[in-house]
Chains A and B, each alone.
Chain A
Amino acid sequence: MGCGTSVATETRGKIVEPDDTAKTPCPALTMKAAVLIQRWYRRYMARLEMRRRYTWNIFQSIEYAGEQDQLQLSSFFSFMLDNFTQLNENGPDLISQLLDPVVDPWLGRETGYNLIPVPESYSGPRLSFPLSVSDTNSLLGAFKEQQTLHARYVLQLLYETKKLLKQMPNITHLSTSYTNEITICGDLHGRLDDLLLIFYKNGLPSAETPYVFNGDFVDRGKKSVEVVILLLAYLLLYPDYMHLNRGNHEDHIMNLRYGFTREVMQKYKTHGREILQLFQDVFSLLPVATVIDGKILIVHGGISDQTDLDFLSSIERHKVKSTLRFPRRSLEKLDIDQSQRQMKRGRSTASSRPSSSCSHSKNQRTPNQRKRRCGQRRQDSTVSTSSSSSSSSSSLCSPRTPSALSPRPCPSSPSMPCNVNVLQVPFLDSLSSVAPPLPLQHDLEWKQIVDILWSDPKTQEGCSPNIFRGGGCYFGPDVTQRLLTRHGLQLLIRSHECKQEGYELCHGGKVITIFSASNYYEEGSNRGAYIKVGRELVPRFYQYQVSHTTRKLTLTQRVRVAEGSALKALKEKLFSHRSELLSGLQQYDHKNTGNVSVSDWAQVLESVLRLDLPWRTLRPHLARLAPDGSVEYKSCFEDMESGIPLPQVTPNMAETLFRYRTDIEIIFNIIDKDHSGLISIEEFRHIWHLFSAHLGVDIDDRAIDDLARSIDFNKDGSIDFTEFLEAFRVVHKLENKDQQLNEKMDGDKYS
């Protein structure tokens, strides 16, 4: 086919079109045009993909760093428990209840539900036990209509579930020969919409549609209560077709921080505590693993080189109420291995981090002990307890002040920790009534469970402590292979990690990660997925994504939204570590110019924030460059400020409050027994004092008093802590401007 008289040439400058009258451009031109478009488009997608990836990294790093913060919190609660009598004379507070259960855990939690009246006006589901399909259907309907199940039924449901779970072994064995395909779902994290979508697409649990839910039903999402009630209801309805594995979030200490506790207390003001108690029991009674046809192992986190399914079957799983409560151990056993403490990238252990690390005031330690204690800082969250390289059990909790098996109030004043020589840690819950077994046995049992619930796979061979998380291990393909071979298995299915496509294979296809909470980090961040597996034991993947926006966002918009959200969270991290960052940066800026090189800047940020992120790539979003290409480091903090200016607050204090805002909120909610939103100044002072002592932050009493008085806006001796927290919310000054800019660039016509 001819091109007519004109010749189509492509030079660096332009394409010359053929004659205007030719309707069909010559094929060479078409091809060139197509190639151009294709190449440009691929590049565009590549850039977008890269931004999506590092946005992902940001979310994930902050999430895991937050989980490490959790360790501080759990030890703080124990510290509080050990060191002062009840804040209020009227019976034990929630903290004591949660952390220090009665001697016989099965007593005293039971049939109270019978006495709870259900008013006529209650229009929600009225369950009758044993449950029937109409009960579960009414639950589904009610939850879709945003109704809440009455506390009486919640308690009864939990009580019945407890009875059922007690009869179940640690490892559930399933067979595909009696059922159709088995559906396996991963983390839900309180996303009711995702659960409903799964049920819609795949069918409700039944003999034809058996399910395995692989842990992490609660926390983070707003409908954890509804999600877990539905799952437990189906468990009661069809114990042969509905199977649940425990996840690391089925843990009352994790729940304190990640939202489940708060959600329960908000939805159930009167009976919240009892409900939480029962949940604690139910969670610890959940089976820890499922095996299909003796070939497919399903656990929430993963495995370690110590994992032994036979041993795992034999232990009493309910004793591990929380993986964050460290089993009892004597001081001699604590062997802090230098090499273990080194982070993967050989981060140096900066010595200038007195605050936020040592969880004790220093005066009660001998110099030797103090050194070892301070060695267990947040940044070196790995401390090995034995010479075994895979042992990471002690990293989940730092040992703290003494407590006997049943803690007794400290004779000295509440603010002074007890002065004892031997370092002990609180004993595992509920063992106080039984003659304690050999400590070593106990550690091994606890470790089995921790590894199952917290480990992550890695590509390198071997098994190393999971310092990212602060618990469990990283296990390599060789560890997987060995376990599979030893037990005659062929596949490991696990969850625990969010994946962009909802699932991911690794270890040559022998390990599958399945994650069922779509949009986990942010709208559009990821899909959810579930697996179906039949007699031939070949997994098939089904993906989905819940969409909340009524208008469909373009890909660019979605990436932008997620990116914006991630960067905002990251900036808040910077803001809440401002003092440390500035002092670190100033060390590279001897001449006080206000500038440092890009690599120095990246170096300081990485070592202070301990987030494994591509700092150089992110730099344009975080800080300005000077004309000479160096970073004007103070520009990082320019567009952020605190919610309400509080002149009494020193920068040090402000940052601590920013950093621990979530934790402080939880503590407030717990202390505030009558849910009035107010706590007394006395309580506030007390808590703050302990908290800061625990963190090793140096804040004098007067500053705290001043702060308390200044927050007491109506001078009536009580503090509205919502207002207080509002002061420590980071406000992004330039937020509106950024949003406008974003909109402009995307083009309004696509919105």
Chain B
Amino acid sequence: MSRRRSEQRLKRLIMSLTTRWMSGELWQYREREIGTIIYSLGCFPSQADLHDLIAEVEEDQTGYIHLDSFLPVMSKVLLEHKFPPIPEDLLLQAFEVLDKEKKGYLEHEELTKYMTQEGELFTQEEVDEMLTALADHEKNVVYYKDLINQLTIDPDM
């Protein structure tokens, strides 16, 4: 995809995420929105990568991003495949690593502990959301094998 086309596509994408945004605008972004956009484009930056990216485009730590600075940086990320995706089969193995007793599922407390204490830490809010979204509500556990499909299938784009 040419740079120009990807920029246009990006612009549209961002516009669909922020209502009635107009070009030339300073965009008062929310960090999660940046993540959303980048992930939606198929990139897998780490949190550190994300922060670096934001630092690169943000206007002097004001909390504002000028879209004209954001677009070329983002296009570059896309064109250079800067944050490539991780293969799906690893996901199951990752869960199995955490499931020390090989139960086939993870309990709420287990998952919470790992997500909030290891790796690229989740906030409490993220964990709560994850549990609400993914856990079996009757048994209060996460059957990760069944989740893999859900987490990796991309029906739309």
Q: How far is the CA of A172 from the CA of B23 in the complex (A)?
A: 39
**Are A747's CB and B146's CB within 8 A?**
yes
Q: Tell me whether B95 is interfacial, beta carbon within 8 Å.
A: yes
- In angstroms, Cα B20 to Cα A550, docked, is 36
Interface contact B36-A46, CB-CB below 8 Å: yes
The answer to whether A47 and B39 touch (CB under 8 A), given A29-B97, A30-B118, is: yes
Minimum Cβ distance to chain A for residue B137 (Å): 6
Given A40-B86, A47-B157, A50-B36, 7 new contacts (CB under 8 A)? A30-B118, A33-B98, A34-B118, A38-B119, A50-B16, A617-B16, A620-B157
A24 to B110, CA, bound (A): 13
- The reply to whether A617 and B93 contact each other, CB–CB distance below 8 Å, is no
Within 8 Å by CB of A15, from B21, B93, B100, B130, lies B93
**CB of A616 within 8 A of chain B?**
yes
- Tell whether, in the assembled complex, residue A47 and residue B97 are in contact, meaning their CB atoms are under 8 Å apart: no
Q: Which residue of B lies closest to A25 (CB)?
A: B97
CB <8 Å contact, B115 and A38: yes
State how many angstroms separate the Cβ of A484 from the closest Cβ of chain B.
19
Q: In the complex, which residues of chain B have a beta carbon less than 8 angstroms from the beta carbon of A548?
A: none
Tell me if A36 and B86 are in contact (CB < 8 A): yes
Q: How far is the CA of A98 from the CA of B69 in the complex (A)?
A: 55
Q: Report the minimal beta-carbon distance from B44 to chain A, rounded to whole angstroms.
A: 6
Which of A105-113, A407-415, A551-559, A632-640 is found at the contact surface with chain B? A551-559
Q: Which residue of A lies closest to B144 (CB)?
A: A37
Q: State whether the Cβ of A45 lies closer than 8 Å to any Cβ in chain B.
A: yes
Name A50's contact: one of B17, B97, B151, B155 (CB within 8 Å): B17
Q: Which residue of A lies closest to B15 (CB)?
A: A614
User: Contact at A42–B39, with CB atoms within 8 Å?
Assistant: yes
Which residues of A are found within 8 Å of B12, using beta-carbon distances? Answer: 614, 616-617
Evaluate whether A459 and B21 lie within 8 angstroms (CB atoms) in the complex, with A31-B119, A35-B119, A35-B120 already known: yes
Contact of A460 among B25, B90, B96, B136 (CB under 8 A): B25
Q: Contact between A43 and B44 (Cβ–Cβ < 8 Å)?
A: yes
Q: Which residues of B contact A (CB under 8 A)?
A: 9, 12-13, 15-17, 19-22, 25-26, 28, 32, 35-40, 44, 46, 86-87, 89-91, 93-98, 100-101, 114-115, 118-120, 122, 129-130, 132-134, 136-137, 146, 149-157
A57 touches B16 (CB 8 A): yes
Q: Among B91, B96, B153, point to the contact of A745 (Cβ < 8 A).
A: B153
In the assembled complex, the CB of A647 is this many whole angstroms from the nearest CB of chain B, namely 38
For chain A, the bracket of interface size reads 35 or more
Counting CB contacts under 8 A, is A737 at the interface? no
Pair A47/B115 contact, Cβ less than 8 Å: no
Known pairs A617-B13, A620-B157; A40 contacts B28 (CB<8 A)? no
The reply to whether B94 and A37 form a contact with Cβ atoms under 8 Å apart is yes
Alpha-carbon gap, A556 to B22, bound state (A): 31
Q: List 26 A-B contacts (CB under 8 A).
A: A15-B90, A15-B93, A17-B93, A30-B98, A30-B118, A33-B93, A33-B97, A33-B98, A35-B46, A36-B86, A36-B90, A36-B91, A37-B119, A38-B119, A40-B91, A43-B44, A44-B151, A49-B32, A50-B16, A53-B17, A344-B22, A459-B20, A459-B22, A555-B129, A617-B16, A750-B136
7 closest cross-chain pairs (CB), A and B: A46-B39, A34-B119, A34-B118, A35-B119, A614-B16, A33-B94, A33-B97
Contacts of B101 in A (CB 8 A): 23
- Whether, in the assembled complex, A688 has its beta carbon less than 8 Å from a beta carbon of chain B, the answer is no
Which A residues contact B (CB, under 8 angstroms)? 12-15, 17, 23-25, 29-47, 49-51, 53-54, 57, 60, 344, 458-460, 468, 474, 552, 554-556, 613-614, 616-617, 620-621, 745-747, 749-750
**Measured CA separation A17–B37 after assembly (Å):** 34
* Shortest Cβ distance from A458 into B: residue: B20
> Which of B22, B44, B118, B154 lies in contact with A47, CB distance below 8 A?
B154
Q: A39-B120, A458-B20, A745-B155 are in contact. Are A12 and B39 (CB under 8 A)?
A: no
Number of A-B contacts (CB under 8 A): 148
Q: Give A555 Cβ to nearest chain B Cβ, in Å.
A: 4
Contact B39 A43 (CB under 8 A): yes
Across the interface, which residues of A come within 8 angstroms of B28, CB to CB?
Answer: 459
B137's partner among A50, A474, A552 (CB-CB below 8 A) is A552
Contact B97 A15 (CB under 8 A): yes
Instruction: Name B98's contact: one of A34, A53, A344 (CB within 8 Å).
Output: A34
Complex: chain A residue closest to B135, CB-CB? A554
CB distance from B20 to the nearest CB of A (A): 6
Q: A459-B25, A620-B156 are in contact. Are A39 and B46 (CB under 8 A)?
A: yes
Q: Do B133 and A46 touch (CB < 8 A)? A: no
* Cα distance A527–B129 in the bound complex, in angstroms: 15
**Distance in angstroms between the alpha carbons of A473 and B130 in the assembled complex:** 40
B122 and A38 contact, CB distance less than 8 A? yes
What's the nearest-Cβ distance from chain A to residue B144, in Å?
Answer: 9
B100/A41 in contact, CB under 8 A: no
Q: Are B94 and A41 in contact (CB under 8 A)?
A: no
Contact B39 A53 (CB under 8 A): no
**CB atoms of B93 and A46 under 8 A apart:** no
B84 to chain A minimum Cβ distance, whole angstroms, is: 10
Q: Are A614 and B97 in contact (CB under 8 A)?
A: no
Take A14-B89, A36-B91, A43-B39 as given contacts and tell me if A747 and B97 are in contact as well, using a CB distance cutoff of 8 Å.
no
Measured in the bound complex, the distance between the Cα atoms of B13 and A614 in whole Å is 7
* CB contact under 8 A between A31 and B151, given known A23-B100, A554-B133, A620-B157: no
Which of B97, B122, B132: most chain A CB closer than 10 A? B97
Q: Which has the most chain A C-beta neighbours within 10 Å: B28, B93, B114, B146?
A: B93
> Most chain-B CB neighbours within 10 Å: which of A36, A57, A474?
A36
**Complex alpha-carbon distance, A746 and B153, angstroms:** 10
On whether the beta carbons of B129 and A45 are closer than 8 Å, the reply is yes
Q: Are A50 and B40 in contact (CB under 8 A)?
A: yes
Q: Name the CB-closest residue of A to B87.
A: A12
Q: Which residues of A contact B119 (CB under 8 A)?
A: 31-35, 37-38
Question: How far is A34 from B154 in the complex, measured between Cα atoms in Å?
Answer: 22
Task: Identify which of A38, A44, A57, A747 contacts B19 (C-beta below 8 A).
Answer: A57
Residues of B within 8 A of A38 (CB): 115, 119-120, 122
A53 to B14, CA, bound (A): 11
Tell me, in angstroms, the Cα distance from A93 to B90 when the chains sit together: 71
Contacts A12-B87, A37-B115 given: A617-B157 contact, CB under 8 Å?
Answer: yes
State whether A14 touches B97 (Cβ < 8 A): no
**A40 touching B120, Cβ below 8 Å:** no
B16 touches A613 (CB 8 A): yes
Residue of A nearest to B14 (CB): A614
Q: In the complex, are the beta carbons of A14 and B98 less than 8 A apart?
A: no
Give CA–CA (A463, B8) in the complex, Å.
Answer: 27
How far, in whole Å, are A552 and B131 apart by their CA atoms in the complex? 13
CB contact under 8 A between A555 and B133, given known A30-B98, A53-B16: yes
Output the least CB separation between B34 and chain A (Å): 10
Nearest-neighbor residue (CB-CB) of B9 within chain A: A616
A111 and B45 CA atoms in complex are apart in Å by: 71
Nearest Cβ in chain A — how far from B7, in angstroms? 13
Q: How close is A474's CB to chain B, nearest CB, in angstroms? A: 8
B40:A47 contact, CB within 8 angstroms = yes
Q: Which of B19, B87, B137 has the most CB of A within 10 A?
A: B19
Cα distance, A555 to B133, chains bound together (Å): 5
Residues on A with C-beta less than 8 A from B36 are 45-46, 49-50
State how many angstroms separate the Cβ of A260 from the closest Cβ of chain B.
Answer: 27
Contact of B97 among A17, A46, A552, A746 (CB under 8 A): A17
CA distance A552 to B140 in the complex (A): 14
Q: Return chain A residues, CB-CB under 8 Å to B93.
A: 14-15, 17, 33
